Structure 1
Amino acid sequence: MAAIYPLSEGIFTIGHDKEFVPFDPDKDVLTDRPTGSLLVEILPFLVVTDKDVMVLDTGLGFKGADGVLQIHANLRAHGYEPGQVTKVLLSHLHKDHAGCLTYTDENGLIKTTFPNAEYYIYRAEADFALATGLPSYHPEDIEPLLATGQVRWLQGEAGTINGYIRYMHSGGHCPQHIVYLVDDGTDKVFFGGDEAPQLKQMKMKYVAKYDFDGKKAMRLREQYAEQGRAEGWQFLFYHDVKIPVARL
């Protein structure tokens, strides 16, 4: 049985400038933000199976006032240490999903956020991210990880990791986006990254301007919803401010 823990970094607005600005729903007003701003949560996930302790996407990489990485503090709040993470699954490398692949410690040394984990990255997405750069991708967050021995490259249109984690090239939100289905024999957990980012988006038919191929992303959401409903998937919603995990 899979145990799922959201690792929230908080709620933010994001506008045309691609900057994530913290948003406090108790005192901030969305209409005060620049026109077109979206309200999103940043929600990496911890998924624990009989075989692995996995993190799905890594967030922005913020630190608390004590200098501790927020994702480390969130892990510890659920009883896990960073060194226990065995796999990090990346849907894509936009800065809000891959901002904490590594971090700089108090001595100025760059270290991997999860020192004993294998980081699974779609090879074509890494190439695209480094070639494209700002504002959506931050190569300085990506390159240090690529110099380690912890990266495991994913290639092809689909494949399987350790016999029970399936990945599929989707390419709706960004050209080399991938999605994951974790099937441990008891539960099926689907992580669609930014192609299934919020529960309400799985119930609405629309083309989003922020997607690379909005029509394809819309069709994919419909496909994910139909299959997930039929097979009882648990969906992980990376940007949902209210419902991080749900079945349809």
Structure 2
Amino acid sequence: MQVFTLYEGSYSVAADKKFIPFNPQTDNPKDRPGSLFIHVNPFLVKHGDKLLLLDTGLGYSNSKGELIIHENIRRAGFNPEDVDYVLMSHLHFDHSGGMVHQKDDGMELSFPDATYVIQRGEWEGAFTNTSSSYRTEIFDFLQRNAQLAYVDETGDFLPGVKHILTGGHTPYHQAWLLEDSEDKVFFGGDVLPEPEELIKKFIAKYDYDGRKSMELREEFGQMAVAEHWNCLFYHGKSRATGFVELGAEGQFKLV
């Protein structure tokens, strides 16, 4: 199994839910009070004869008007048209904006030949949720134009491709576990967005159920150690991927 990190950039986001590019080398965090600072890392996985995309980023374009995620897929040696399945953890804008390419004259599907795989409860809830984290105009366009596949609860979507209903970050957030004869790759979405969250035990205000997310991080960390998972961190700053071990004092550490 091959894993490629499709780094889309570093951003600050405040209460208005607008994602503003942020360069840690030149920009001062104090100029953006009340903001969170995040990296955005979708992932591309070559799994047997299938090409899988794990979340889609913000859908921002480069100076030439090309989607950054398309540019990164080409750098990895593939074409965007090669993507077979887009596996979504949830539908907040920083994970789902790249499902479409927004242009001055409208929208088009970013991956017209792919099937978008979404937890059914997350899809249904996104249309009625009043949070600005959800952009219903994107979902309306997908509903009319995209190949959609809905999954329920926890199960095997394809051989070696399991969706795990977690809740926590959103009521119907899901994680993905990919495996073949040699590797196990875990994508925790926003239940396990950064490696540091394995070490720090805290209840996050940005989660729907912060306590559940905290407990899930512990549970997934233990499983990652026992089963030698390669963990993918969507918002990882220090590192986007890594294996988990237990340190001398029983704390998780990334290797």
Q: TM-score under structure 1 normalisation?
A: 0.94
Q: What is the CA–CA distance in structure 2 between the aligned matches of 1:242 and 1:218, rounded to whole Å?
A: 20
Residue 45, structure 1, aligned to residue 52, structure 2: no
Runs in 1 of length 4+ with deviation above 3 angstroms? none
Residue 215 of structure 1 pairs with residue 211 of structure 2: yes
Q: Deviations over 1:142-180 (max 9, x none)?
A: 22112235111111x211011211111111001110111
Partners of 1:233 and 1:30 lie apart in 2 by: 34
Alignment of 1:1-248 (within 5 A): 2-35=1-34, 37-104=35-102, 108=105, 110-148=107-145, 150-155=147-152, 157-248=153-244
Offset of residue 17 of structure 1: 2.4
Aligned residues with identical type, % of pairs: 38
CA 1:104–1:206 in 2, change beyond 3 Å: closer, same or farther?
closer
CA RMSD in angstroms, aligned pairs only: 1.3
Q: How many residues align?
A: 244
Cα contact 2:9–2:40 (8 A) shared by 1: yes
1:206 Cα deviation (Å)? Answer: 0.7
Is the Cα–Cα contact under 8 Å of residues 112 and 146 in structure 2 kept in the other structure? no
Q: Secondary structure at the match of 1:218?
A: helix
* Alpha-carbon separation, structure 1, partners of 2:78 and 2:49: 15
1: CA distance between counterparts of 2:46 and 2:209? 32
| TM-score of the two chains, using structure 2 as the length reference | 0.92
Q: Compared with structure 1, are the counterparts of its residues 139 and 218 closer, same or farther at alpha carbon in structure 2 (3 Å cutoff)? A: same
SS at match of 2:66: coil
The alpha-carbon distance between structure 1 residues 133 and 139, as it changes in their structure 2 partners (threshold 3 A), is farther
For structure 1, the residue ranges without an aligned partner over 5 or more in a row are none
- Given residue 96 of structure 2, which amino acid in structure 1 is its aligned partner? A
Query: Which residue identity lines up with residue 219 of structure 1 in the other structure?
Result: E
Q: CA deviation at 1:242?
A: 2.3
